[in-house]
Structure 1
Amino acid sequence: MVCCRQNITRSRVFSTKAPEALLTGVGQSTAPVLDLKKELRSPISLANLFETVADDLQTLNQNLRSIVGAENPVLMSAAEQIFGAGGKRMRPALVFLVSRATAELVGLKDLTTKHRRLAEIIEMIHTASLIHDDVLDESDMRRGKETVHQLYGTRVAVLAGDFMFAQSSWYLANLENIEVIKLISQVIKDFASGEIKQASSLFDCDLELEEYLLKSYFKTASLIAASTKGAAIFSGVDRSVTEEMYEFGKNLGLSFQVVDDILDFTQSAEQLGKPAGSDLAKGNLTAPVIFALENEPKLREIIESEFCETGSLDEAIELVKKCGGIERAQELAKEKADLAIKSLQCLPQSMFRPAGRRQRRGCRFELPTSHFSVFETKKRRRKKKMQWISIAKEAISRASSVVKFLCLVHVTGSYVVMGPSMLPTLNLTGDIVLAEHLSHRIERLGSGDVVVVRSPLEPRKILTKRIVAMEGDKVTFLPDPSRSYTSRSVVVPKGHVWIQGDNMYASTDSRHYGPVPYGLITGKVFLRDGCVACRVQVPMVEDGSCLSLEVRSVRS
């Protein structure tokens, strides 16, 4: 039973080429706003755009290096490795840009502590997911440096990622804003939903564009949208502005993802830092492929064959380019970028957007005054105090839920299991299962558990088998029940387990290569298509025929 783990990559490639329509300012003596019809003469790069919040990003970088704390020197070194590797810091930069732009609407002269903390939380969540992804994908390099697990080992890498998720949840609860807590909690849920959608649609040539966009929202745009909306919430602007900032982040994230998917076909392996066409090779169909499939039947045949023939992947990439898939995906990216720009119309002109020479007439923005009332009555103050007490209580409860959900998403892995060896527990044509990576580390596995394990014959191959005996157990088994009824007995040595497939006639397992070292186990399966797979018992024949398996404990 071979498991094909789905690669989960949240590190993105961002194009620094300016879109055809860029942000400009327009003006009158009234409050300046964005002019969506004018274009800047010079393109905007990420470096130029983020220059206005360079000091904020510098402070964030310093905080990220120290946020783990000196009491955890190993985790501190691991965190320093990933944070010190740099990166675009696009998500916290967007938090700072939106924070400063919206703060001007309500008269705030500088960012609040909550603005800065939100940026740190967003980057911690994003970075922790990268550390875990590198472990699952067995990646050697990240941002031009060796990955954490390459330097410190898998155990430290997993703990470092878990610690950052826990820290971000703790800081999130301390922000004492239930609306933002709900936002970020939804993002974590969306992460899981996106991975499940991707795993369930591999090599599916009938994938609709809407499903692709929904998956892209879950995996990429949701976090960016929550970042920009959260920044606006902490500025205290009207709800209409916060919703516009959410739409801005959502459409920017979708455009960002589409561009990333285009680059997978147009950039070289050296530019991407990974093999070109890697998404397509794994069966992850993106916008260029979906559009190309509408015009090229041969592309469908190649994809559905899962590139079984030599050179078929290169042929598929060429077909995507020739059939207009790249051009139509570029149009989709531009469409989403234009929607993102449109959502910025509510913001005033400032140094935190590209400045223009003229202001747009007839567009004004009224400052909300409820946050600056000097004549609050004692009754209103008391009511506000009780409201914050209620929010604090709910924040603690929500934080607990967030931590639990983070553990579920980031201490688990999704797998597609194919083959006959685990029939009838798992289907022959492939089942999606979830495995958690903690039980085997704390020695909480036992007979009857379905586990994900590396093959002792080919360590790069991942298998799914059931544990039928632990160390010290005596196992009486049939080496080959299809040919001989002669049984053998083995005592499982210390530090080993005995694994078998549920379908004895079609499984290569411990009957062939003996007890398996405990260290080869990588996870315990706990969900299959919504069912608890590990509760299905090993098939046994009660009449004492040759299929029976006898396990006797010989522990002292």
Structure 2
Amino acid sequence: MYPFSEELIINRIKEVLITGNNEIDKVFTYILESNGKMLRPRLIFLTASLYNHKPEVVKDIAVAVELIHLASLIHDDVIDKSLKRRGRDSVNAVWNNQVSVLAGDYLFATAFNLINRYGLPSVLENITETIQTMCAGEINQMALAYNLDINEDDYYLKTYQKTSCLFASSSKIGALISSAPKSEVIALENFGKNLGYAYQIIDDVLDFVSDSQLLGKPAGNDLIQGNITLPVIYALKNEGYSQITKTLIQECQIPEKMDLLIDVLWESKSIDQSVLTSQEFLNLGVNHISTLANSTVRKELELLAYRMLEHYYKKIKKVNMIAKKGAVQKNGTACSLNY
């Protein structure tokens, strides 16, 4: 199979999206100007390369999954009333909610059109179930908004529904396309699922430790929206920091209070703990593919997994070093981070 490239996916997306209608094409051109890391198409390409496959089919299924991912992001921005996406104005900020919803729907329809061309019922079934799960996750997240009694199981369910399930689906359908043995399909699905957990946990940590310019939104924006994530859950469980965490959450609309809350997340080692949990999921995912017959593909998947998160682990560690210096200057103490 020809090697994966972002250009390959983007060019195919343009082929299936661009309509010739200037008003519609302006929206999709804007969306495609800020493409992400394309992790899900990469997973499909790699897992499909385990066994014999048709390159054109793999490419189109990978494009379909990326379109589904983009559609979900556009709809999320409408639901969350977010005006930024990847550091740029969101579609709903540039146009409006109506255009955003319709653009997302168009992406979903285009994705299903691509899948239906190849008569792959197992792939179609998996993707439709995944989209149902993602929608349930959005509803579940809204139901849990501002709920300080949320526990880790609640968080992991929400994380699976909103993020991890699409990673799992991408890994699984690549294997399905190449007619991999059932045992390897399951192993790859579990690999993708755990990779999705690791990725989302780090994304939730970055919401607190990255500067607003990099995030394209204020630090702690998820919490401001009522989304209680793992670092906060760990702080709420910590007897020494639970009460101050609750108090600061109630006042986190004030930027100074958010800064204090972030300090608490460092001092309580809730961020440290979250990073280590992410690493545990990453290692668990890699363990699931340790017995793959195709060692070359296995190594590529391992490299993708570790490289995907290594940059973020290093960034958080660097931010922690700065935080430690600030804490020492302030009161002579500092938290530690061993990763």
Please classify the TM superposition score into its range, dividing by the shorter chain length: 0.7 to 0.9
Q: How does 1:133-152 map to 2 (within 5 A)?
A: 133-152=76-95
Residue 298 and residue 334 in structure 1: after superposition, are their counterparts in 2 closer, same or farther (change >3 A)?
same
Are the aligned partners of 2:248 and 2:260 in contact in 1 as well (CA < 8 Å)? no
Superposed CA deviations along residues 111-156 of structure 1, whole A, max 9, x for unmatched, are: 4322111101111011122223334444444344443344444443
Cα deviation for residue 239 of structure 1 reads 0.5
Gaps of 5+ in 1: 1-51, 357-556
Residue 142 and residue 305 in structure 1: after superposition, are their counterparts in 2 closer, same or farther (change >3 A)?
closer
1:314 alignment partner, one of 243, 259, 272: 259
* Partner in structure 2 of residue 164 of structure 1: 107
* Partner in structure 1 of residue 16 of structure 2: 67
1:129 equivalent to 2:57? Answer: no
Cα deviation for residue 320 of structure 1 reads 1.4
Residue 307 and residue 73 in structure 1: after superposition, are their counterparts in 2 closer, same or farther (change >3 A)?
closer
Superposed CA deviations along residues 25-51 of structure 1, whole A, max 9, x for unmatched, are: xxxxxxxxxxxxxxxxxxxxxxxxxxx
Task: Name the SS of the counterpart of 1:185 in structure 2.
Answer: helix
AA matched with 1:341: V
Q: How does 1:385-534 map to 2 (within 5 A)?
A: none
Question: How far apart in 2 are the matches of 1:269 and 1:235?
Answer: 42
Structure-2-length-normalised TM-score? 0.80
Superposed CA deviations along residues 406-449 of structure 1, whole A, max 9, x for unmatched, are: xxxxxxxxxxxxxxxxxxxxxxxxxxxxxxxxxxxxxxxxxxxx
Q: Alignment length, in residue pairs?
A: 298
1:260 equivalent to 2:239? Answer: no
1:196 equivalent to 2:139? Answer: yes
1:251 alignment partner, one of 173, 178, 194: 194
1:353 alignment partner, one of 292, 296, 299: 299
Task: Name the SS of the counterpart of 1:181 in structure 2.
Answer: helix
Task: Name the SS of the counterpart of 1:345 in structure 2.
Answer: coil
* Partner in structure 2 of residue 329 of structure 1: 274
Residue 300 and residue 234 in structure 1: after superposition, are their counterparts in 2 closer, same or farther (change >3 A)?
same
Task: Name the SS of the counterpart of 1:204 in structure 2.
Answer: coil
Question: How far apart in 1 are the matches of 2:141 and 2:79?
Answer: 16
* Partner in structure 2 of residue 242 of structure 1: 185
Higher relative helix content: 2
Are the aligned partners of 1:85 and 1:144 in contact in 2 as well (CA < 8 Å)? no
AA matched with 1:99: A
Residue 329 and residue 235 in structure 1: after superposition, are their counterparts in 2 closer, same or farther (change >3 A)?
same
AA matched with 1:353: K
AA matched with 2:209: T
* Partner in structure 2 of residue 77 of structure 1: 26
Residue 148 and residue 179 in structure 1: after superposition, are their counterparts in 2 closer, same or farther (change >3 A)?
same
Bigger Rg, structure 1 or 2: 1
Question: How far apart in 2 are the matches of 1:75 and 1:220?
Answer: 28
Question: How far apart in 2 are the matches of 1:139 and 1:205?
Answer: 23
- Tell me the C-alpha RMSD between the 2 structures: 2.5
Cα deviation for residue 328 of structure 1 reads 1.0
Question: How far apart in 2 are the matches of 1:64 and 1:312?
Answer: 43
Are the aligned partners of 1:125 and 1:164 in contact in 2 as well (CA < 8 Å)? yes
Gaps of 5+ in 2: 303-339
Are the aligned partners of 1:197 and 1:215 in contact in 2 as well (CA < 8 Å)? yes
Structure-1-length-normalised TM-score? 0.50
Are the aligned partners of 2:164 and 2:197 in contact in 1 as well (CA < 8 Å)? yes
AA matched with 1:159: L
Task: Name the SS of the counterpart of 2:296 in structure 1.
Answer: coil
Residue 312 and residue 214 in structure 1: after superposition, are their counterparts in 2 closer, same or farther (change >3 A)?
same
Task: Name the SS of the counterpart of 2:103 in structure 1.
Answer: helix
Question: How far apart in 2 are the matches of 1:217 and 1:307?
Answer: 27
